[in-house]
Amino acid sequence: MVASTSPGSSGEREGWSSRTAFILAAIGSAVGLGNLVRFPAEAGANGGGAFVLFYILCIVLIGLPVLLSETLIGRHGQAAAPESYRKMALESGASKQWEFVASLGVLSAFLVLSFYCVLGGWVLYYVGTFAADLVSSGVTGPAFAGSSFEQVEALFPAMISNGPVTVALNIGFLLITLYFVSRGVSGGIEKVAVYLMPIFFILLVAITVYGAFGGAMGETVSYLFTFEPAKLSADVMLAAIGQAFFSLSLGVAGMVTYGAYVSRETNLAKTSGIIVAADTSVALIAGLCIFPIVFAAGLAPNGGLGLMFQTLPHAFQDIPGGALIGLAFFVMVAFAALTSSVALMEVPSAWVIDRFKVSRLVATLLVTAGALVLGALSALSMGALSGWHPLGFIPLFEGQGMLDTLDTLTGKLTLPIGALLTSIFVGWIAEKRLIDSENGLEGGLHRLWLFLVRWLCPIALAAILIFGIFG
Ligand code: PHE
């Protein structure tokens, strides 16, 4: 059993207080704005069914085996991600340079953290807006009574282009994240997940069921689940695989980091299955929650990030009690985002603690400061800096501001590359004995997993990356 220590104590390594705590924290890391904002936006931008079904295929055949690979490297290493890769490499007689894979992951996690907290800030804005509205509309009233459809829709572009507001919200969200991460694994990170994730599930399902009666559910189901092979181009595939990794928190050494706090008794194959099932169902439920409203209102499904922020509030305008339900919904989104940003901050923080031997507080403060600077550039990229396209000279990043650039850079490049290297590492480099003792699989399932990690993951990932980028 990994000892669970109180925040701030040193020497003994920190750990989850139970298997359930690990599962909830890992699900908390996986479930977030990736499921609620990015998944519907990507599904809409990539034509619906073809994307969604290919995404599910990626989750099962690539995401799940890579998730098990990452957690087992972490649990074996019992250290920050680069140290865990190095340990497994050295014990397998391979070069310690494999720790590079984790270093790339740590960098990716930091980049994602920087723009993730900008989006988290937007969520806080909606929490505040709905809270203020609740005061004027009352508990039983619909949201934004007296405001037109257009007025509610206009809130979003007005907010994201307002520099001081988005930067302030970004700082707010980062500080909340800092608070929990600085308190440590069992003292802080775990507490957020154990209390908030169950509330999140109940609310999401309730709002979806409620919406199913009024929205265009039939149209949504055929949009999301009709497979049209002609639409499955290389860039749709790259988008789907990138979304699969982003959503499962893979390729950023996040699950390696969380895996390092897992006790020896936990069966990693089983927990990986639970995490994948939970994450995928939340993404699909989010789609079934948002698109019926989009179609019922006659809007286009390719509304991007606006889908959740602009479209959903309409639903709350139409229903009695909408002010209260809307507030509950955005509070829930903020919770989900927080359990993910906590994971994102933990990855570089654990690295800083191990590498520079500083306290958790110092490490988290350093990471926060860095994320704040980079985040401000993303926060301003929808307003004052909207004309600045940092990597615009590369076709993949054409016309993208800082936020979109970082999203593409991580989602379409560094996450899939990190996962590709991890599958090669576990499939070919690491000694079989080490892996067999960690993965919790037997017989046919074990052989299947090994086949996926050795052959399917590297080949499919390399092909999708090459065709998606150059095709
Ligand atoms: N998986 C999270 C989400 O879907 C984002 C995330 C990525 C969190 C990588 C941790 C690591 O919102």
- The superfamily CATH assigns to domain 19-470 is Amino acid/polyamine transporter I (1.20.1740.10)
- Closest ligand 1 atom to Cα of 251: 9
| pLDDT of 145 | 85
- Closest ligand 1 atom to Cα of 108: 9
Q: Report whether 81 contacts 74 (CB < 8 A).
A: yes
Q: Report whether 68 contacts 88 (CB < 8 A).
A: no
Q: Nearest CA to 440 among 254, 265, 262?
A: 265
The reported pTM is: 0.91
Q: Which two tokens stand for residue 316?
A: 């709350």
pLDDT in tens, 311-325: 888 878 877 888 888
Site of tokens 């301003």:
380
Out of 143-152, 333-342, 374-383, give the one with best mean pLDDT: 374-383
Question: What residues contact residue 288 under an 8 Å CB cut-off, 6+ apart?
Answer: 208, 212, 217, 220, 221, 224
Q: Report whether 409 contacts 391 (CB < 8 A).
A: yes
Q: Report whether 250 contacts 421 (CB < 8 A).
A: no
Question: Domains of the chain: which residue ranges?
Answer: 19-470
Which residue of 116, 181, 282 sits with most ligand 1 atoms within 8 Å of its CB, as the best mutation to test the pocket? 116
pLDDT in tens, 70-121: 999 999 999 889 999 999 999 999 999 999 999 999 999 999 999 999 999 9
Ligand 1 pocket list (CB less than 6 A): 29-30, 32-35, 109, 112, 246-247, 249, 252, 254, 340, 343-344
Site of tokens 């006790």:
263
Residue 435: phi and psi, rounded to 5, are: -70, -45
Q: Report whether 449 contacts 439 (CB < 8 A).
A: yes
Please report, rounded to a whole number, the percentage of residues in the chain having pLDDT higher than 90: 61
Q: Report whether 381 contacts 114 (CB < 8 A).
A: no
- Closest ligand 1 atom to Cα of 33: 12
Give dist(CA 128, CA 263) in Å, integer: 40
Residue 392: phi and psi, rounded to 5, are: -60, -20
Q: Which two tokens stand for residue 325?
A: 């339900």
Which residue of 282, 339, 340, 346 sits with most ligand 1 atoms within 8 Å of its CB, as the best mutation to test the pocket? 340
| pLDDT of 297 | 77
Distance 35 CA to ligand 1 centre (A): 9
What integer best gives the mean pLDDT of the chain? 89
Q: Whose CA is nearest to atom 11 of ligand 1?
A: 249
pLDDT in tens, 133-189: 999 888 888 888 888 888 888 999 999 999 999 999 999 999 999 998 998 767 766
Give dist(CA 361, CA 359) in Å, integer: 5
Query: Cα dihedral angle (239, 245, 247, 252), rounded to 10 degrees?
Result: -130
Which residue of 42, 118, 119, 247 sits with most ligand 1 atoms within 8 Å of its CB, as the best mutation to test the pocket? 247
- Asked whether residue 46 carries a pLDDT value surpassing 90, the answer given is yes
